[in-house]
């Protein structure tokens, strides 16, 4: 007979998958409780959450959910290979903030790492998630574009002013010599 607490856990994982369309499975080997709490605090600021999972129960939830959502089938096939301690990193609509927050925290803590992720209906493995986490945010990219558009205009303005400023400097120097 199946344990009701395990059924409830599987159902809670199904609810997590349905509510969070963007999530990442991470590893947390030999991580202290205080470290996990500070990670939770950092993730909360970026709109993400982390929850410890049991691989076998999450696999069952993923199998059930893959029947409804065909995009999860690829994740289901690759998830079977996962072992060791896992946690699910639930990301909001702006998943890049949570992903970057985890990556920056994981750089300090060597025992934290990405395993596999499901972002915008696509499956990403460990190396791909690291690359995505290092990308600049949308705001940073917009600032770079605006700065790039502003630079030629600023340079033109400076080039046009340069000769006049130099002429004024020469006249000032000549007036001091004559006095």
pLDDT tens per residue across span 50-96: 888 888 888 888 888 888 888 788 787 777 767 788 888 888 777 88
CB 12 within 8 A of CB 60: no
Handedness of CA 15, 115, 22, 46 (dihedral sign): positive
pLDDT higher than 60, residue 3: yes
Residue (of 36, 66, 73, 70) closest to 52 by Cα position: 36
pLDDT higher than 60, residue 39: yes
Asked if residue 82 and residue 26 are part of one domain, the reply reads yes
Total count of domains within the chain: 2
Asked if residue 163 and residue 78 are part of one domain, the reply reads no
- Residue 81's pLDDT is 66
Q: Domain range for residue 93?
A: 4-135
* Structure-token pair, residue 45: 């600021």
Give the C-alpha separation, 134 to 122, whole Å. Answer: 18
Give the C-alpha separation, 24 to 52, whole Å. Answer: 12
Asked if residue 104 and residue 161 are part of one domain, the reply reads no
pLDDT tens per residue across span 118-149: 888 888 888 998 998 888 888 888 998 988 88
Asked if residue 102 and residue 40 are part of one domain, the reply reads yes
pTM, two decimals, is 0.73
Q: Which SS3 state, helix, strand or coil, does residue 157 take?
A: helix
**Where does the pLDDT of residue 1 fall: very low under 50, low under 70, confident under 90, or very high at 90 and above?**
very low
Neighbour count for residue 149 (Cβ, 10 Å): 9
């Amino acid at each position: 007979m199946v344990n009701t607490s395990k059924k409830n856990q599987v159902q809670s994982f199904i609810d997590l998958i349905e509510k969070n369309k963007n999530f990442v499975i991470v590893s947390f080997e030999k991580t202290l409780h205080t470290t996990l709490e500070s990670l939770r605090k950092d993730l909360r600021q970026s709109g993400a959450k982390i929850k410890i999972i049991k691989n076998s129960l999450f696999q069952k939830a993923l199998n059930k959910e893959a029947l409804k959502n065909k995009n999860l089938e690829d994740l289901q096939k690759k998830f079977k290979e996962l072992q060791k301690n896992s946690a699910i990193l639930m990301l909001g609509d702006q998943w890049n903030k949570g992903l970057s927050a985890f990556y920056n925290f994981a750089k300090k803590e060597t025992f934290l790492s990405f395993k596999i992720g499901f972002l915008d209906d696509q499956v990403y493995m460990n190396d791909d998630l690291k690359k995505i986490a290092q990308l600049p945010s949308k705001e940073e990219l917009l600032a770079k574009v605006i700065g790039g558009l502003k630079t030629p205009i600023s340079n033109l303005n400076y080039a046009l002013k340069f000769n006049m400023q130099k002429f004024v400097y020469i006249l000032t120097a000549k007036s001091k010599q004559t006095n």
